[in-house]
Structure 1
Amino acid sequence: MVVLEVALELYVLMLVLHRVQAAMRLSGNADEAMERTIRGQLGASRFVPFAVFEMRVWYYGLFMRRGERLRFRGEQHFSYDKNGGNVSNQFAFLMVMLFEMPLMHMFLHLALSKPWLAWTLDILSLMSMLYLLAEYRASQWRPISLDYNALLIRNGVLTGDREVAYGLIESVVRCEDGIRRQRGILRFRQSGRLNVEIRLRENSKLATAFGGEQSVSRIYLSLDHPDAFIDALRQRL
């Protein structure tokens, strides 16, 4: 499993270096460039969503420069990085992990009799660190957007453009933060506070992050400027 994971990461890394950067120079849209590159290599494979996710982690974690130059699909964009100290909390957690890793590395190599097992755990810890760094950076630049025919939900580095057609939306209102996990509910909060509720029409189905569909009745968002988003979405509805 470790060998397969390393091979996958090196393959994705090479794609990022040689293809995505070239495609971005033409449009500035990193997300579209990554998806085009992966689909060009893998076609219609079911593995595509996972490979695109891995590519986003590498790109936002290590290769992104000048985030203000990135372009994203949509006509209006709304941020979520400052709500409830979202990215500040993420940064603090990163610093805790960064301080802990050398100590954990030393402890593992002293406590475990098999060095290869300790090194395997070290590699997994570094990969987790890379994901958290990518999440922190992507949260600052990947917005939630309103396009001409759909709401586009992005949330850190995990999901691509989750499309919600305006025809599926019944209403949008302010909400409180204490929303529990339930079947048919999507919550996009990270380290912020939920403040927008979007109700969908009965029997609405949305694409999942990694392919397939799921029934969804409500979507909750955590935005920096919820009232501006609600007004803009209501105008489009």
Structure 2
Amino acid sequence: MPSNIGTNLKTSLKMGPYLLKWIFQRLKIGPGEYSYHQRSAAMAMTFILIFVVPASIWLLSLMLPWAWVTWVLSLWAVYGLYRVMGLYASMVGLPHKLDESCLLVRYSFLVSGCIPYDSIESVELSREGWGQGGDGLKLDLEEPIAYLNVGSANSIKIGLRNPVTLEAEGMPTPPVSTIFIHADHPDLLVDALQQRLGMAPEV
């Protein structure tokens, strides 16, 4: 239990800077960066809860005769809103990136991986990995394949000549030889990565 509380507290603290930058519109996509957040459940939940949470707190204050219960439930609701908004803001602030030596793939700060360019054998638009369900990292260790789903979908298939490991919540995953990721504009990311690798573009 204490370790779970510590992990949740650490995760919550990491969300703070991204949330502040998002609120004050300081999160911008730079050169070589590719967003993936637009299909995320966190995006929809953020804008729903922004309206629902204040209304819920107001209704609780009218319905409950115990002020302390209203305060506890209100704080819990605000914390839930903070977590959802923080997750979404970190997805906006940590896009995929064509780095100097690798393709940096991400899902918020929860999952990341630096895929060396010389380990990439193929990259293509693909819906082959659809239907995994949910957001975040899914592993199929029999293949082995990693799916970085956003909105239960992914749009790019990356085949590797050398298996790589990803990092999930600070821990390395088993090596994988195929990675499916999502991007809001997958064609742009695929084209840019193929050019970086010297591959012929898809027809």
Tell me if both proteins adopt one fold, taking TM over 0.5 as the criterion.
yes
Contact 2:111/2:166, CA 8 A, preserved across alignment? no
- 3-state secondary structure, aligned to 1:214: coil
**How big is the shift at 1:229?**
1.5
Distance in 2 separating the partners of 1:102 and 1:60: 22
Counterpart code for 2:84: L
Residue 135 (structure 2) aligns with: none
Counterpart code for 2:158: I
Which letter does structure 2 place at the counterpart of 1:153? V
1:191 Cα deviation from its structure 2 partner: 2.8
Aligned equivalents of 1:120 and 1:163: distance in 2?
42
CA distance in structure 1 between the aligned counterparts of 2:36 and 2:61, rounded to whole angstroms: 37
SS of the residue corresponding to residue 188 of structure 1 reads strand
Residue in 1 aligned with 2:105?
Answer: 153
The equivalent of 1:61 in structure 2 is: 19
Deviations 1:199-226 (A, max 9, x none): 2236533333322342223221221222
Residue 171 of structure 2 aligns to a residue in which SS? coil
Q: SS where residue 217 of structure 1 aligns?
A: strand
Q: How do residues 80-159 of structure 1 correspond to structure 2 at under 5 angstroms? A: 80-82=36-38, 86=39, 90-101=42-53, 115=68, 119-155=71-107, 157-159=108-110
Whether the aligned pair in 2 keeps the contact of 1:150 and 1:164 (CA below 8 Å) is yes
Query: What is the CA deviation profile of residues 141-192 of structure 1, one whole-angstrom value per residue up to 9, with x for unaligned ones?
Result: 432111121111122x333652122233221111116242552433333237
- The CA distance in 1 between the partners of 2:178 and 2:80, in whole Å, is 30
1:154 aligns to what SS in structure 2? strand
Q: 1:162 touches 1:209 (CA, 8 Å); kept in 2?
A: no
Residue 120 of structure 2: aligned partner: 169
Q: Which residue of 2 aligns with 1:226?
A: 186
Distance 1:161 1:202, change over 3 A: closer
Structure with a larger share of its residues in strand: 2
Contact residue 80 and residue 222 of structure 1 kept, 8 A = yes
Q: Distance in 2 between matches of 1:224 and 1:63?
A: 21
1:187 to 147, 153, 158: 147
**TM-score normalised by the chain length of structure 1:** 0.59
Query: Quick one: percent identity of the two aligned structures?
Result: 22
Query: Which of 177, 180, 197 is matched with 2:157 structurally?
Result: 197
Residue 17 (structure 1) aligns with: none
**Bigger helix share:** 1
Distance 1:123 1:197, change over 3 A: same
Residue of structure 1 equivalent to 2:201:
none
Using the size of structure 2 for normalisation, the TM-score is 0.66
User: C-alpha separation between the residues in 2 aligned to 1:191 and 1:101?
Assistant: 23
| Distance (whole Å) between structure 1 residues aligned to residue 153 and residue 111 of structure 2 | 21
